[in-house]
Amino acid sequence: MRTAVYPGSFDPVTNGHLDVLERALGVFDRVVVTVLRNPRKEPFLPADERVAVVRAAIAETGLPADRVEVTTFEGLTVNAVHDHGARSIVRGLRAVSDFEAEMQLAHNNRKLAPDVDTVFFMTSLEHGYVSSSLVKEIAAFGGDVSEMVPPSAVAAIAGALARR
C-alpha cells in the first residue's frame, strides 16, 4: 500500500488544501493528513479543532474518508512520515514563489531521511490565490470566505472570531 503524509498547519483548511488532497488520492492508496501542533506559535484554531474541521471537510466534499487519516504531529515531518509507515510527503504549490520555499524544505527532509521523497501537486487554477493567512485576514475584516474554504471551516472561523 502506497502511503503519503500531507503535513501542514491547515489553520484553517482551504479548498486548495482539499484540491491537493484529492490529487494525492489519485496517486497514493492512503494519505495521512498531519496537522502541525507547534507549541511556539499561537494558532487561529486549536489543533484538535483543525483536525475536526479537516475531517468534516473531507466528508463535506465526498473524498474517500476510508483512505484518509487525519491526525496531529509535533517535531520533524520526516519522523511523522516514518511513524505512519509512509515514504512520501505531499505538498501543494500555488505559484513559483511557493516552489522556492518548498524545494528547500524538500531538500532538507531528503537530507534528514534519504528514504523519504516529496511529491508536489499544483493546485487548480481557481484555488491558486487562496492561502490560510489570506482567509483569516479577510474573515477578520468581515469578508466572505465561503468560496475559499469548506463549510466546516466557515463555521470554525466564525466561532474563533466570536471567541476573540
Residues carrying an active site annotation: 17, 41, 94, 132
CA-based nearest residue to 82, from 157, 4, 27: 4
SS (H, E, C) the chain: CCEEEEEECCCCCCHHHHHHHHHHHCCCCEEEEEEECCCCCCCCCCHHHHHHHHHHHHHHHCCCHHHEEEEEECCCHHHHHHHCCCCEEEEEECCHHHHHHHHHHHHHHHHHCCCCEEEEEECCHHHCCCCHHHHHHHHHCCCCCCCCCCHHHHHHHHHHHHHC
Contacts of 160 (CB under 8 A, 6+ apart): 44, 45
